[in-house]
């Protein structure tokens, strides 16, 4: 696993998720529309990449599993929001672009995480 690329991608994931947080950055929909469970998911999705970075130095397999979780937390809510399943109305244009970016980052995190977790050949 290329540790430097992995760490950069985790940091980019953190930065890309901030505008998606309700009532911060680009998100204009009211936070009252977000259920407490979704708010917890947003908090985990924002801070899990930062918690994963130190683990890459000593426990790369655990970091790989957490990276896969980060990727899933990027892809699933973003796809649901783009399909208008999380909110009754579509996301603002800037959030839609950010969610597409999060889907790409999530896919890359899942791939790198899988590479870190899979047995060496």
Total count of domains within the chain:
1
Task: Tell me the CA distances in angstroms from 112 to 9, 45, 60, 100, one per residue in order.
Answer: 10, 17, 11, 19
- Rounded to whole angstroms, how far apart are CA atoms 74 and 109? 9
pLDDT of residue 1: 55
Range of the domain at 93: 3-117
pTM assigned to the model: 0.84
CB of 74 closer than 8 Å to CB of 105: yes
Burial of 20 (0-12, 13-18, 19+ CB in 10 A): buried
Closest by CA to 43, choosing from 21, 64, 26, 65, is: 21
pLDDT tens string 81-95? 888 887 778 888 888
pLDDT tens string 22-33? 666 677 677 677
pLDDT tens string 96-107? 898 899 899 989
């Amino acid at each position: 696993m290329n540790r430097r690329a992995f760490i950069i991608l985790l940091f980019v994931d953190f930065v890309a998720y901030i505008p998606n947080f309700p009532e911060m950055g680009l998100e204009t929909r009211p936070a009252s529309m977000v259920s407490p469970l979704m708010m917890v998911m947003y908090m985990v999705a924002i801070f899990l990449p930062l918690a994963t970075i130190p683990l890459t130095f000593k426990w790369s397999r655990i970091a790989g599993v957490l990276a896969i979780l980060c990727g899933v937390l990027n892809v699933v809510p973003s796809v649901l929001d783009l399909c208008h399943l999380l909110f009754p109305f579509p996301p603002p244009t800037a959030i839609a672009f950010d969610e597409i970016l999060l889907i790409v980052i999530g896919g890359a995190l899942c791939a790198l995480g899988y590479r870190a977790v899979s047995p060496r050949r």
